[in-house]
Structure 1
Amino acid sequence: MASMFSLPSPRMLFAVFLTIAISAAGGGAASALGLPAAWLMGGALAVTVAAMLGVPVSMPDGLRNVVFVLIGMSMGASVAPDSLTLLASWPISLAALALELVIIVAITGWMLTKVFKLDPGTAYLSSFPGHLSFVMGIAATGVGNARQIVIIQVIRILMLTIAVPVGAVFLPIEHFDPPVATAFLNPLQLALLAVGCVVTGLLFIRLKVPAGMVLGAMAAATAAKLGGFYTEAMPGPLVIITFILTGAMIGSRFVGITRSEFVAAAKGGLIATGMTVGIVTLVTLGVSQLVDMPFGQLWLGLSPGALEGMGALGIALGYDTAFIAAHHVVRLLMLSFAIPVVVWWVKRRERLPPP
């Protein structure tokens, strides 16, 4: 019983503080260079490099849940007041999202099988753009090579987190400074909002909603804002802390992956992610001709990155987080149905005699 309440070891605490410090340093450097979403992108890249160099970085599950709540709170507080007026144009982008997912899985799965000679299970589970926990759960049952799958998937998440801010600098992608707030949530409001977000997040987890803690926290924060319980913004320093912690969380996913394993799977992962970025960009260009929204906002909504990363980027770049979150929820639901179907097809294919 005593072990349930044991304090973390000094080594663990040192690793956590070191991880956060590395993320903060990377974010600060990117901010000094004037990059968009600097605290998030710079932190993620710095912690990734540190993890690959063998630095003892760590983000325990308890701290990850804190990050999820902070992201959900920030996304809810950043929801644009006119979000509901954009609903009429969402069916176009949602239809494009469904088409995009089919193209990504089909083309990247084929490429990983034919070019890099991965077995079909590894290739197609690596090609799914999202729902990493579900994908890894299936891989754990013996479908594909779990280590290769996680490397390719984590490369995808990291590259997408970096691609958007870099694209905002070098490409004609609009990004906006978040609205300048004049009033901020006070400590009591923050505490009450956090409690509501945690409770709703736990409820979503119990209901087995994908990304339950993030979506639950955002749902609570959004409902409270639209319900008139608060109009103030999140304090600026807390938003920066959220970005630093999110960057640390993304980068720490490389812990435990050796350099030899990374090199073996990285080429296929980089090419697959590059193909995914290209497909997303082309689909977004098509949708942008039919929908009057910022290209970058559409790109983030259609981008198959992690919800927490894309949501944080949406906040940093001044986009409508309700639009982004809604599309990522729909993507996860689509994948929930698509992944079992493709796995069944892969298993059936493996049982067939060679031609």
Structure 2
Amino acid sequence: MTSLAVGLASGWLAYMVGMPLPWMLGAMLGNTVAALAGAPVRASMPLRNIFVPIIGVMLGSGVSAETFEALGDWSISFLVLAPFLMTAAGGSYLIYRHLGRFDPVTAYFSAMPGGLNEMLLLGGEAGGEERRIALAHASRVLLTVTFVGLFFGLVLGVQSGRSGGIWTPIGAPGVLDYLILIGCAALGVPFGRLLRLPAQRLLGPMILSAAAHVVQLVDLPPPTVFVIAAQVVMGSLIGTRFLGARLREVGRDLFLSVFSTTIMLITGVGFAWVVASLTATDLAQAFLAYSPGGLTEMSLLAFALGGDIAYVSVTHIVRIAIVVFSAPLFFRWINRR
């Protein structure tokens, strides 16, 4: 519970000083500093397992019938994903391989924006250094979430909160609304397993919640206190990933990650501009979809910033699928050579 206490205090401090996306960025940065200082800010996996379905239900509330009108534009975004990944991940690989002196396997899985858990599992099986892969992805998520939150808040002037700062009280949804949403969270996890979805604890509840909101079984936004709690929990979890790492080790990996993440973000902006030029997709939404953060983190950012949650989430799912399925093919080709 120490990580939550640090996250809540850091989030409140960030809110008081006017930081963009304060509850998530504050909790994340506070726990990162605490973890590097050696404080016992361990991630609570039971709490994570409880909150991820809740976040999925919240994300589903941002889906509406109008979302499906843009499906044609989505296909163009998906087609552009492959060249984006080749460019962004290729540049990142060169950073880790030649500047960081990583072995080829570790450099490859450190550079691929395919999700920490997936890349850690595949990279370990392929003989990579799991700790370096984990730190590379944790560093990239930290830098990406920080940059995107500050950029949207300070440069674009986007307020945190889908309702533009309007507080939704906890008593706004009725008893039936709560029962439906709790049912989406409880049934969504086995539903995700049944469909063998990636990130089952997130996507299963999100799909059921989206269906409930599209057919207007529920038509209210989630209470603001739940939105804040989700941001504090997720920000705290990101920060605690650095627990146990030596400061010199993290400093080196952060140094490499700054270059790697910068390449990915610049490439993401370029390809987002291409998508926005070819479709009716807003440039800011395309940038969120092409940002090299994790699925849960970027989806929650899209929710908090009032973005198109379905588009951002689905694009990240397709990106993860491309990376995961291409990894064995890539190494098979390398071995033949």
Same structural fold, with TM-score higher than 0.5 when normalized by the shorter chain: yes
* Residues 154-233 of structure 1: pairs in structure 2 closer than 5 A: 154-172=138-156, 178-179=162-163, 180=166, 184-205=172-193, 207-233=195-221
Q: 1:134 aligns with which of 118, 122, 126?
A: 118
Match of 1:323 in 2: 311
Match of 1:3 in 2: none
Q: What is the RMSD of the two structures over their aligned residues, measured on CA atoms?
A: 2.2
Contact 2:285-2:308 within 8 A present in 1 as well: yes
- Tell me the CA shift for residue 27 of structure 1: 1.6
Q: 1:147 to 1:135 in 2, by over 3 A?
A: same
Q: 1:26 to 1:276 in 2, by over 3 A?
A: same
Distance 1:323 1:138 in 2: 27
- Tell me the CA shift for residue 148 of structure 1: 1.0
- Tell me, what secondary structure is at the counterpart of 1:254? coil
Q: 2:129 aligns with which of 127, 130, 145?
A: 145
- Tell me the CA shift for residue 53 of structure 1: 0.9
- Tell me, what secondary structure is at the counterpart of 1:82? helix
Q: 1:234 to 1:345 in 2, by over 3 A?
A: same
Match of 1:300 in 2: 288
User: Within the alignment, does 1:259 sit opposite 2:233 as a pair?
Assistant: no
- Tell me the CA shift for residue 146 of structure 1: 1.2
TM-score under structure 1 length normalisation: 0.87
| Deviations 1:27-49, CA, capped at 9 Å, x for gaps | 22222233332211111111111
- Tell me, what secondary structure is at the counterpart of 2:241? helix
Contact 2:186-2:205 within 8 A present in 1 as well: yes
Q: 2:298 aligns with which of 310, 325, 331?
A: 310
Match of 1:117 in 2: 101
Query: Which is worse superposed, 39-48 or 335-344?
Result: 335-344
Match of 2:10 in 1: 26
Q: 1:96 to 1:171 in 2, by over 3 A?
A: farther
Match of 2:83 in 1: 99
Contact 2:261-2:292 within 8 A present in 1 as well: no
Q: 2:264 aligns with which of 276, 281, 293?
A: 276
Distance 2:123 2:319 in 1: 20
Distance 1:194 1:318 in 2: 23
Contact 1:174-1:296 within 8 A present in 2 as well: no
- Tell me the CA shift for residue 334 of structure 1: 1.2
Q: 1:283 to 1:174 in 2, by over 3 A?
A: farther
* 1:288 alignment partner AA: A
- Tell me the CA shift for residue 314 of structure 1: 0.9
User: Within the alignment, does 1:62 sit opposite 2:58 as a pair?
Assistant: no
- Tell me the CA shift for residue 235 of structure 1: 0.8
User: Between the two proteins, what is the percent identity of the paired residues?
Assistant: 27
- Tell me the CA shift for residue 206 of structure 1: 5.1
User: Within the alignment, does 1:84 sit opposite 2:72 as a pair?
Assistant: no
Match of 2:33 in 1: 49
- Tell me the CA shift for residue 256 of structure 1: 2.5
Contact 2:115-2:295 within 8 A present in 1 as well: no
Please say which structure displays the higher CA radius of gyration. 1
| Deviations 1:181-202, CA, capped at 9 Å, x for gaps | 6983235532442233232223
TM-score under structure 2 length normalisation: 0.91
